[in-house]
Amino acid sequence: MKEEQIPATFFLVGEHAVGSTEQKELMDSLRNLQTIELCNHSYSHAHNRFDKFYMQPDSVLADFDKARAILQLNCMTARTPAAISGG
């Protein structure tokens, strides 16, 4: 994408974007690409407990706010976490 200047949007999970040195370095490299837009996909990804997560709307908003602050996201576009079913 960098070489070909292909625009792309990445939806980031906060815990996964800053959980290790390697993840932080990848985040920094994405942030430096002009063709990449970084957007919010929550901080915790609901810890994969989606029903419980969505039963507390204030906690959902707080989770997204935490991700936006930690990741320093300017983009207001967000994607909510959900289970991916196979098949």
Task: Please spell the DSSP secondary structure of 24-77, one letter per residue.
Answer: HHHHHHHHT-TTEEEEE--SSGGGG-HHHHHT-HHHHHHHHHHHHHHHT-----
How far is 65 from 61, CA to CA, in rounded Å?
Answer: 6
Domain that holds residue 55: 8-71
How many domains does one find in the chain? 1
Encode pLDDT of 7-28 as tens digits.
999 999 999 988 899 999 999 9
Does residue 24 belong to any structural domain of this protein? yes
Does residue 87 belong to any structural domain of this protein? no
Does residue 19 belong to any structural domain of this protein? yes
Residue 46 pLDDT exceeds 90: yes
Q: What pTM value is reported for the model?
A: 0.86
Does residue 58 belong to any structural domain of this protein? yes
How far is 59 from 53, CA to CA, in rounded Å?
Answer: 8
Which pLDDT value is given to residue 78?
Answer: 96
Does residue 45 belong to any structural domain of this protein? yes
